[in-house]
Amino acid sequence: MEQSLFKRALSVLPGGAQGTLRREFHSISPLVVSRARGPRLWTIDGQELVDFHMAFGAVVLGHSDPDVVKAVSEQASRLILHGAGVSDVEVEYAELITSLIPGARGVVFTVTGSEAVMLAFRAARAATGKNIIVKFEGNYHGWHDYSLYNVRNPISKAGKKAESGGIPSQVASTVEVLPYNDIEALRSFMYERGDKVAAIIMEPVAHSMGVVPARKEFVREAERLARTYGALLIFDEVITGVRVSLRGLQEYYGVRVDMTILGKGIANGLPVAALVVNEDVFNLFEEGVVVASGTYASHPLSMAGGLAALRKAVKLDLDKVLWRIATEASKAVGDALSDARVTGAVSQFGGSFSLHLGLKEPPRNLEEALKADLEGYRKLVAHLRRTGILVSPNPLKRFHVSASHGSDEIEALYSAVKSALKNIFTRSS
Ligand SMILES: Cc1ncc(COP(=O)(O)O)c(C=O)c1O
């Protein structure tokens, strides 16, 4: 059935799946997913897979968490969409998010992280009267035109490069891409053009070149430069929010940001993102200087499910739980590497970890990440899939755990990685 559905998918969906990243899973063998529960999912033909992809990290409690399912079903029978005023669950969810994030005055809900980033840029430009957004290579901030630059292509090789056709050339002049973790490059750009910069945006822990935390000095210097030149500082915490820290990463880095973007982990798989703003930015939205809209923004099903998920996350101290599970899982991968005598660097931060085959140390930026054995990684992921483990085939992505991952899943990961590595590297050497 999977083969025939895949063929049908190819005939009506470009590449047979939504977007380029989901499509990559078919490159191993067609993947048609039928259901998922806890740490596992099942294909339409009944193959069981232990999931270390967890929907790009969005699922933090486990698939179809019963409390979230209950909240969504109750909400569906009460109110699906109102499009007028506000809903009770929306108020409670916004209050909870605001109470968690340091310096937050309130929240603007969107459906996706990409939209929340677009709104953040609009607000920063309205607040400062300036146009340029500074972003860092290897940092992903959604698929929209305004920051889809140099996520996979380093500037040293490709120059400033849009990652999709169809982005208006004029947009390039509104975005400056700098190397991640490079204080000198940031300083020298800000000295020269800081008076034109509306905002500096970063993933405090980058997740599109593995799991690469920003250095503390780098983040603090970004904050200092933003303040000096009247620019706003934006943390894109779509992945790190909840998965790494329930309160976001401002306290860890010792900085105060103007806006935080949350998504994924705040709703355990439901479509919602939140632009969390400080007092000044809140006022711009309140006064209507900056406009936000969207028929499905603050969708009651997402609000109800998200509220249930986030309440549960707080009750469980989920960030600490995920940290512990990911530490164990990443150690299992490290053990498998040494037992198979294969070189690789494992990097874990919160509930995610990455593996760069062929590297001795985890990378600090995109150029270093690209020196890993990307082909070997693809082969590893293909082996894992055949033995019942699902991981993104993209070597610049990462493994994710959820609260539902236990010793069975971690042992399965260890054995599968070890036998895959032995198989790949003994044969090819
Ligand atoms: C750090 C980061 N920001 C923004 C986004 C975009 O969010 P969405 O896919 O919900 O549009 C993503 C998605 O992976 C992300 O990882």
Class of domain 66-316: alpha beta
Residue 272 CB–ligand 1 contact under 6 Å: no
Model confidence at 5: pLDDT above 90: yes
Cα 422 to ligand 1 centroid, rounded to whole Å: 34
- Please give the mean pLDDT across all residues of the chain: 97
Cα 20 to ligand 1 centroid, rounded to whole Å: 14
| Cα–Cα nearest to 199, from 168, 230, 171 | 230
Contact 71, 61 (CB under 8 A): no
Query: What confidence tier does 427 reach under pLDDT thresholds 50, 70, 90?
Result: low
Summarize the chain as % helix, strand, coil (round to 5): 45, 15, 35
pLDDT digits (tens, 9 = 90+) for 100-118: 999 999 999 999 999 999 9
Provide the pLDDT for residue 426.
80
Cα 142 to ligand 1 centroid, rounded to whole Å: 5
Query: What confidence tier does 1 reach under pLDDT thresholds 50, 70, 90?
Result: confident
Specify the CATH number of the domain 2-64+317-428: 3.90.1150.10
Cα 120 to ligand 1 centroid, rounded to whole Å: 13
Residue 362 CB–ligand 1 contact under 6 Å: no
Burial code (b: 16+ CB inside 10 Å, e: under 16) for 26-60 equals bebebbbeeebebbbbebbeebebbbbbbbbbbbb
Provide the pLDDT for residue 429.
45
Residue 151 CB–ligand 1 contact under 6 Å: no
Q: How far apart are CA 222 and CA 181, in angstroms?
A: 10
Residues of the chain within CATH 3.90.1150.10 domain(s) are 2-64+317-428
Provide the pLDDT for residue 26.
96
Residue 203 CB–ligand 1 contact under 6 Å: yes
pLDDT digits (tens, 9 = 90+) for 178-206: 999 999 999 999 999 999 999 999 999 99
Residue 142 CB–ligand 1 contact under 6 Å: yes
Counting residues of the chain whose pLDDT is more than 90, the rounded percentage is 99
Residues of the chain within CATH 3.40.640.10 domain(s) are 66-316
Cα 140 to ligand 1 centroid, rounded to whole Å: 7
pLDDT digits (tens, 9 = 90+) for 322-347: 999 999 999 999 999 999 999 999 99
pLDDT digits (tens, 9 = 90+) for 73-102: 999 999 999 999 999 999 999 999 999 999
Mutate to test the pocket of ligand 1, among 118, 212, 238, 397 (most ligand atoms within 8 A of CB): 238
DSSP 162: B
| Cα–Cα nearest to 56, from 112, 134, 13 | 112
